[in-house]
């Protein structure tokens, strides 16, 4: 019995080691305490600046969001108590979903316990035998896992290569009942976007559906933060389903699906992640609802976030850092040649009180290690200058030299 147990632990240790565990043995840059965007704590006696929270609109510590959460606990208790289908509805859920649908310009919204679960559940509900799902190769893990879990066939196209998508559809569309394209609004690892007008033209010509994951684009893209449709001036009803999360611009946790009112009504009775999982904690919904109200009342938060993001991108590029395909909207990665260099730079940033952990192996192509910087409306120009200087210094200026050489 003991032997079996230890062989299981050996198995886990071996996989961790092979997966790059050695990189985090000393001065581990992960799971470091960062309790706010900028604060002092025992682990950070000199204070720190976080570039690692997706607190895009600076609402994680907004007093009104905190009050809304506390009031909801006082009124409704600490949990929803059951799945909403079997346990009954609280008005906080219904009111939030109505206001979010109104904000996004869609017929309905349905919340679930996380964005991750929402993607898996929506794909699971819709796609079956004789259907095809076509996915951007860099789509989020929750889409990939959702797609792996269905009986439909799956195809991928190269990141944002809509000509390849068009070719795939021309070749395969006739063989399937339903076809759904899955992609992201603002890509979470690269900070780039897809050409939505072209994507919609292709989708409509081939009679396919679109699931657009706007986890990182609601509150970010478009003049008032209504996402990729607003960015391109497109009516949201041209998209079958959009996915959002409350964990980013809306400053708490939970996910939602948005679309036509009749489709959302059906999902209330059909979608596994909603029926078989507990409703969102009332305090969570209430704080996100408050965040939504603040976003609507103060659209200049989106403007500040955009100004900071564009500034960061411009300064990073001027300093010769490799920011890949990022467009300067909330997420800007800096790419490195090797995981080791990436980890070393992240550790050097930590030594200077800047928190932005390395992204190596997990969630990205293995040969494209990076530090992903999340911008916030709360950052200042000085913060941005400080971070860029620290990255340039930590990478020994080697990026600047390399990139200039390769550009020549
Ligand atoms: C594109 C994308 N979709 C979905 C999710 C999952 O969201 P949640 O944190 O609400 O589970 C994430 C999380 O970061 C994401 O980046």
Residue 36 DSSP symbol: S
Q: Is the pLDDT of residue 1 over 70?
A: no
Joined tokens for residue 75: 């009124």
pLDDT tens digit sequence for 174-191: 999 999 999 999 999 999
Interval between CA 24 and ligand 1 midpoint (Å)? 24
Interval between CA 215 and ligand 1 midpoint (Å)? 6
Q: Which of helix, strand or coil describes residue 44?
A: strand
309 or 44, higher pLDDT: 309
Nearest-CA residue for atom 10 of ligand 1: 115
Give me the helices (H) in 127-281, please.
Answer: 141-148, 162-172, 196-205, 228-232, 261-270, 272-275
Interval between CA 393 and ligand 1 midpoint (Å)? 32
CATH 3.90.1150.10, the chain: domain bounds: 22-51+300-407
Identify which of 258, 260, 256, 234 has the alpha carbon closest to the alpha carbon of residue 247: 256
- Which pLDDT band holds residue 17 (cuts at 50, 70, 90)? confident
Q: In ligand 1, which atom is closest to the CA atom of 246? A: 10
Interval between CA 255 and ligand 1 midpoint (Å)? 8
% pLDDT > 90, the chain: 77
Ligand 1: residues with CB < 6 A are 114-116, 119, 140, 142, 184, 188, 213, 215-216, 245, 247, 255
Q: In ligand 1, which atom is closest to the CA atom of 254? A: 10
Interval between CA 170 and ligand 1 midpoint (Å)? 31
Phi, psi of 125, rounded to the nearest 5 degrees: -70, -35
Residue whose CB lies within 8 A of the most ligand 1 atoms, among 189, 245, 249, for a mutation test = 245
Residue 24 DSSP symbol: G
CA distances from 102 to 105, 106, 293, 332, 353 (A): 5, 6, 12, 30, 41
CATH 3.40.640.10, the chain: domain bounds: 63-297
pLDDT tens digit sequence for 266-303: 999 999 999 999 999 999 999 999 999 999 999 999 99
Question: Which numeric CATH code is attached to 63-297?
Answer: 3.40.640.10
What's the predicted TM-score (pTM) here?
Answer: 0.91
Contacts 24+ apart (CB under 8 A), 83-91: 83/274, 83/275, 83/276, 83/277, 83/278, 83/279, 84/274, 84/279, 85/268, 85/269, 85/274, 85/275, 87/279, 90/279, 90/282
**Non-local CB neighbours of 190 within 8 Å, separated by 6+ positions:** 138, 159, 324, 325, 326, 331, 333
pLDDT tens digit sequence for 77-111: 999 999 999 888 888 999 999 999 999 999 999 99
Residue whose CB lies within 8 A of the most ligand 1 atoms, among 52, 116, 285, for a mutation test = 116
- Which pLDDT band holds residue 404 (cuts at 50, 70, 90)? very low
Q: In ligand 1, which atom is closest to the CA atom of 140? A: 1
Give rounded-to-5 percent helix, strand, coil for the chain. Answer: 45, 15, 40
Nearest-CA residue for atom 8 of ligand 1: 115
pLDDT at 41: 56
Report domain 22-51+300-407's class: alpha beta
Distance (Å, whole) CA 206 – CA 186? 24
Interval between CA 142 and ligand 1 midpoint (Å)? 7
pLDDT at 283: 97
Which residue bears the tokens 């596994």? 272
Q: Which of helix, strand or coil describes residue 354?
A: strand
pLDDT at 3: 65
Average pLDDT of the chain?
A: 91
Q: Is the pLDDT of residue 307 over 80?
A: yes
% pLDDT > 70, the chain: 91
Interval between CA 408 and ligand 1 midpoint (Å)? 39
Interval between CA 261 and ligand 1 midpoint (Å)? 23
């Amino acid at each position: 019995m003991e032997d079996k147990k230890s062989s299981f632990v050996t198995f886990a240790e071996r996989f961790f080691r092979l997966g790059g565990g050695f990189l985090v043995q000393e001065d581990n840059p992960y799971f470091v305490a960062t309790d706010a965007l900028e604060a002092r704590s025992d682990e950070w006696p000199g204070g720190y600046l976080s570039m690692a929270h997706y607190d895009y609109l600076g609402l994680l510590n907004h007093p009104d969001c905190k009050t809304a959460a506390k009031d909801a606990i006082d009124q409704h208790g600490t949990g929803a108590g059951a799945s909403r289908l079997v346990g009954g509805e609280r008005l906080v859920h219904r009111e939030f979903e109505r206001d979010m649908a109104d904000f996004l310009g869609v017929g309905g919204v349905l919340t679930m316990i996380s964005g991750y679960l929402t993607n898996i559940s929506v794909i699971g509900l819709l796609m079956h035998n004789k259907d095809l799902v076509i996915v951007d190769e860099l789509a989020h893990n929750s889409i990939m896992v959702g797609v792996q879990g269905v009986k439909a066939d799956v195809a991928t196209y190269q990141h944002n290569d809509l000509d390849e998508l068009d070719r795939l559809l021309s070749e395969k569309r006739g063989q399937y009942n339903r076809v759904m394209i899955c992609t992201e609004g603002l890509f979470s690892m690269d900070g780039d976007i897809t050409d939505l007008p072209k994507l919609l033209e292709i989708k409509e010509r081939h009679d396919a559906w679109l699931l657009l994951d706007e986890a990182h684009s609601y509150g970010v893209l478009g003049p008032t933060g209504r996402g990729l449709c607003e960015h391109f001036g497109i009516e949201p009803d041209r998209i079958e389903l959009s996915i959002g999360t409350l964990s980013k611009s809306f400053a708490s946790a939970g996910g939602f699906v948005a679309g036509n009112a009749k489709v959302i009504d059906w999902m209330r009775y059909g979608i596994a992640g909603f029926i078989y999982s507990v409703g969102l904690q009332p305090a969570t919904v209430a704080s996100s609802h408050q965040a939504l109200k603040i976003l609507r009342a103060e659209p200049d938060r989106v403007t500040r976030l955009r100004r900071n993001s564009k500034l960061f991108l411009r300064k990073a590029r001027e300093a010769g850092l490799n920011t890949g395909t990022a467009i300067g909207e909330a997420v800007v990665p800096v790419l490195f040649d090797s995981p080791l260099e990436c980890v070393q730079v992240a550790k050097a940033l930590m030594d200077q009180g800047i928190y932005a952990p390395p992204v190596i192996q997990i969630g990205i192509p293995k040969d494209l290690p990076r530090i992903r910087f999340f911008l916030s409306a709360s950052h200042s120009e000085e913060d941005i200058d400080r971070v860029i200087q620290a990255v340039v210094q930590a990478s020994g200026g080697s990026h600047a030299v390399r990139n200039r050489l390769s550009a020549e």
